[in-house]
Chain A
Amino acid sequence: MSCHVVLERAASQPLKLRARPLRVALVGQPNVGKSVVFGRLTGRYVTVSNYPGTTVAVSKGRALVGAEVCDVIDTPGVNTLEGSVSEDERITRDVVAGEQAEVIVQVADARNVRRALMLTSQLAAFGKPMVLALNMIDEAFARGIAVDAPALAAALHVPVVEMVAVEGRGLSELRDALACAARPDVPAHPHATARAVWAHELTERVRRVSTLSLAYVQEALARATRRPVTGLPILAAVLYALYLFVGVFGAQTLVKILEDGVFGRGINPAATWLADRFVPVPLVRDFFVGQYGLVTMGLTYAIAIVLPVVATFFLMFGFLEDSGYIPRLAIFCDRIFRVMGLNGKAVLPMVLGLGCDTMATMTTRILGTPKERLIAILLLALGIPCSAQLATIMGILGGISFAALGTLFAVVLGQMFLVGWLAARVLKGDRSEFILELPPIRWPRVGNLLTKTRLRVWWYLGEAVPLFLIGTVLLFVLDRAGALERIAAAGRPIVTGLLGLPPATAQILVMGFLRRDYGAAGLFQLAHDGQLSGVQAVVALTVMTLFVPCVANFLMMVRERGLKTGLAIIGVITPVAVFTGGALNYVLHYLGVQF
């Protein structure tokens, strides 16, 4: 549809010299490339993810369209704008309805015009001028799908632009089309089924599909990941690869380079030397470079020990996400999760929790009902060890025996099932039904993957490093005030009695509360020095894994569910952790097990 034809129509609004920039809103389903279009228009990149709900924050930017500057706002991907709406859908609806959107650009997946039109019909109801951008036409072409864009534009009375956003194709056409944006000519539909019928009929008119099958290899792979017979070995292989990449390369190789090399030989001695020279006051000197020094402990742990593990984890997780594996894992785990009052979707936060529980707690938003979100947060805090902790578990127990590792995982998993099952019964409410869209299996784009990982690592550094430093300061203060000794002493009877652990463990557990991986690393030191027997290592690490989450996780819980709930969760977890440890200690001794 050419520009001047549209301009003749009474309903259209041509761009004119304005007092303030034109406000353009990008709307569309998840995974249509909306964020890529946004990035190309504004020159600023936004995280691109296969999972709805991962980009909840709304992004804004400026775009140059001809001689005009426009304000572009990107909205979270949505499948519908009415009915039982999620937070994403509510945010998008508010943006589209309000004054932040003068022109709406709907970005659609060219392979799925029918679904796009369902959204177009809803957007039309807002009465604003629109442009329809059919993205990923290259992938549509590969599937044998051809869309007659001019016919579609004529039917809707809206400019339709074909694009391959990741390659930058179609962007100038999009910019031109903004000038011709027009109010769509779509009949009002009383309900969703009528809309579906309209969308279907229009699609049949403008779309031709020559084949209805996916590429053979992708289809075979997709099939293999979903079925138990092939899926379990694939999962085992993925977990092993995860262990190799994160547990060995990240936790051992990289950590060694950073801890011993960069910090051990470089930064820490330099800092100590500087402090000895320039800081006369011993208290202040110790504050920075002493036993609980800000630099020697806090910074070292944050950057040398935790960062490499977390970064490798996020890289691998991003790969699994973008390849389409994680949603298929969800199908696999659906039945198991239902026992715990969740459904397969919970696999995303649970697996993410292996990287960082704090971030995973935030991700529980994608789950359907409040009850599921609560159970997921509880189980994350209870059972899922974050990557730094996992690394220490593998490091200590892996060096002892496979049986030791197996015992810990069996106990922790068993506890998660039990607590989840109980919580599902005790808590009021329902769980949501399992409906999940499976994106195609594909080799992830390296650029996307790196950006996504970088953003996640950045987020983590911004959250973690300050907390490490605060934790270190707290430890320093407690140590100087003698309070650390006193708290540890109070807990010692339980630690040495019920749990059968060396007295030093009490202090480590206290530290572990301030930062989970602190505690883990402290244990590692004990094991290193030969002060921990096999059984003691298993008991200590089991308690630590089950134990209260770190401070950052607690704060995130409070933010998501409120203070009362956060405290209640701690109130449930602490006794569970201690008594499980005690029971495990008793059972292992009774059986005379020695790892």
Chain B
Amino acid sequence: MVPLSSVAEGGHGVIVDVRATDDGRADRLLALGVTPGARFVVLQTFPGIVFLCDQTELAVERSVADSVFVRVTTTAE
């Protein structure tokens, strides 16, 4: 299990956990579909982190991606 921010572009896998925080960030991510079990693909890591989570395309800053934990099934070639 690794943070989403460490996954390279093209890497995909499954969301495992979203760390709870007191500012409601975790709730917001859950509401947008970043939930345990959802499949994801990392589309970009610079300048911002952009990933496809199930059918939703999301852009987040690095500190947010640090709190999302995933299991990578394959990395980019």
Beyond A212-B39, A437-B56, whether A115 also contacts B28 by CB under 8 A is no
Evaluate contact between B28 and A79: CB separation under 8 angstroms: yes
Contact status A344-B59, CB under 8 Å: yes
Q: Which of B38, B44, B48, B64 is close to A200, meaning CB atoms less than 8 Å apart?
A: B38
Query: Does A227 make an interface contact (CB < 8 A)?
Result: yes
Q: Are B44 and A111 in contact (CB under 8 A)?
A: no
Q: Which residues of B contact A407 (CB under 8 A)?
A: none
User: B37 touching A228 by the CB < 8 A rule?
Assistant: no
CB <8 Å contact, A84 and B33: no
Say yes or no: is A143 at the interface (Cβ < 8 Å to chain B).
Answer: yes
B47 lies within 8 A of A434 (CB):
no
Q: B8-51 CB contact bits vs A (8 Å, 1 = yes)?
A: 00000000001000011111111111011111010110111010
Q: Does any Cβ of B come within 8 Å of A440's Cβ?
A: yes
A199 and B35 contact, CB distance less than 8 A: yes
Tell me which residues across on chain B come within 8 A of A197, comparing CB atoms: 35-37
A-B interface pairs (CB < 8 A), number: 127
With A84-B27, A334-B48 given, is the CB distance from A434 to B64 under 8 Å?
yes
Minimal beta-carbon separation of B74 from chain A (angstroms): 14
- A436-B29 Cα distance, complex, nearest whole Å: 10
User: Which residues of the partner chain B approach A196 to less than 8 Å between Cβ atoms?
Assistant: 30, 35-37
Q: In the assembly, what is the distance between CA of A357 and CA of B47, in Å?
A: 28
Give complex CA distance A436, B44 in Å: 14
Q: What A residues does B31 contact at CB under 8 A?
A: 79-80, 83, 115, 118, 192
A330–B35 CB distance below 8 A:
no
Q: How many residues of A contact B (CB 8 A)?
A: 45
Asked if residues A112 and B59 are in contact (CB atoms below 8 Å), the reply is: no
Q: A114-B54, A227-B44 are in contact. Are A435 and B32 (CB under 8 A)?
A: yes
User: Is B73 on the interface with A (CB-CB < 8 A)?
Assistant: no
A145–B48 Cα gap in the complex (Å)? 28
Question: Chain A contacts of B64 at CB under 8 A?
Answer: 433-435
- The answer to whether B27 and A437 touch across the interface, beta carbons within 8 angstroms, is no
The tally of residues in B whose CB lies under 8 Å from a CB in A reads: 35
Contact of A436 among B38, B47, B59 (CB under 8 A): B59
- Residue interface mask A88-117, B partner, CB < 8 A = 1: 000000000000000000000101101100
Q: Nearest Cβ in chain B — how far from A143, in angstroms? A: 7
Tell me the bound Cα distance from A232 to B48 in angstroms. Answer: 15
Q: Does A114 contact B47, Cβ atoms closer than 8 Å?
A: no
Would you call A112 and B56 a contact (CB within 8 A)? yes
Given contacts A200-B37, A433-B61, A435-B64, contact A331 B48 (CB under 8 A): yes
Selected contact of B36 from candidates A200, A222, A332, A434, CB within 8 Å:
A200
In Å, the complex CA distance between A166 and B36 comes to 33
Asked if A192 meets B26 with Cβ closer than 8 Å, knowing A143-B55, A145-B55, A330-B59, the reply is yes
Our pick among B27, B56, B61 for the contact of A334 (Cβ within 8 Å) is: B61
Which residue of B18, B47, B56 contacts A115 across the interface (Cβ within 8 Å)?
Answer: B56
Q: How far is the CB of B45 from chain A (nearest CB, A)?
A: 11
Does the CB pair B32–A115 fall under 8 Å? Answer: yes
Q: How far is the CB of A473 from chain B (nearest CB, A)?
A: 48
Q: Do A435 and B29 touch (CB < 8 A)?
A: yes
Is there an interface contact between A335 and B47, defined as CB atoms closer than 8 Å?
yes
Task: State how many angstroms separate the Cβ of A522 from the closest Cβ of chain B.
Answer: 42
B residues less than 8 Å from A80 (CB atoms): 27-28, 30-31
Q: Distance in Å from the Cβ of B10 to the closest Cβ of chain A?
A: 12
Distance to closest chain A CB from B43 (angstroms): 7
Please measure, in the bound complex, the distance between the C-alpha atom of A223 and the C-alpha atom of B42, giving whole angstroms. 12
- Once the chains bind, are B59 and A434 in contact (CB under 8 Å)? yes
Which single residue of chain B is at the shortest CB-CB distance from A327? Answer: B59
Q: Does A210 contact B (CB under 8 A)?
A: no
Contact flag A115-B39 (CB < 8 Å), given A226-B50, A434-B61, A435-B28: no
B58 at the interface (CB under 8 A from A): yes
| Residues of A close to B36: CB separation below 8 A | 193, 196-197, 200
| Distance in angstroms between the alpha carbons of A82 and B24 in the assembled complex | 10
A312 at interface by CB-CB < 8 Å: no
- B1 partner residues in chain A, CB cutoff 8 A: none
Asked whether any CB of chain B lies closer than 8 Å to the CB of A438, the reply is yes
Tell me the bound Cα distance from A201 to B38 in angstroms.
10
- On whether the beta carbons of A433 and B26 are closer than 8 Å, the reply is no
Which residues on the A side are within 8 Å of B50 (C-beta)?
226, 331, 438
> If A192-B26, A192-B27 touch, does A331 touch B59 (CB 8 Å cutoff)?
yes
Q: Indicate if A272 sits at the interface (CB-CB under 8 A).
A: no
- CB–CB A118/B59 < 8 A: no
The residue that A193 contacts in the complex, of B30, B61, B63, with Cβ under 8 A, is B30
Q: Which one of B28, B36, B63 has the greatest number of beta carbons of chain A within 10 Å?
A: B28
Q: Are B25 and A437 in contact (CB under 8 A)?
A: no
Which one of A226, A335, A433 has the highest number of Cβ atoms from chain B below 10 Å of its Cβ? A433
- Partner pick for B58 among A195, A201, A435, CB 8 A cutoff: A435
Whether A114 contacts B33 in the complex (CB less than 8 A), given A433-B61, A435-B58, comes out as yes
Bitwise, A312-345 to B at CB < 8 A (1) or not (0) is 0000000000000001101110110000000110
Q: Tell me the complex Cα distance, A200–B55, Å.
A: 13
Residues of B within 8 A of A343 (CB): 61
Complex CA–CA separation, A336 to B11 (angstroms):
27
Question: Within 8 Å CB of A212, what residues of B?
Answer: 39, 41, 52
Contact partners of B35 in chain A: CB under 8 A: 114, 118, 193, 196-197, 199-200
Q: Check if A84 sits within 8 Å of B24, measured CB to CB.
A: yes
Task: List, sorted by A's number, 17 A–B pairs whose CB atoms are closer than 8 Å.
Answer: A80-B30, A83-B24, A83-B28, A111-B55, A114-B55, A115-B33, A115-B56, A118-B33, A193-B30, A193-B36, A223-B43, A226-B50, A227-B46, A433-B63, A436-B58, A437-B58, A438-B57
* 5 A-B pairs closest in CB distance: A84-B24, A196-B35, A83-B27, A80-B31, A79-B31
A109-B55, A115-B32, A433-B64 are known contacts; what are 13 more A-B pairs with Cβ within 8 Å?
A79-B28, A80-B28, A84-B24, A197-B35, A327-B59, A334-B61, A344-B48, A434-B61, A435-B29, A435-B64, A436-B58, A437-B57, A438-B50
Which B residues form the contact surface with A (CB < 8 A)?
18, 23-33, 35-39, 41, 43-44, 46-48, 50, 52, 54-61, 63-64
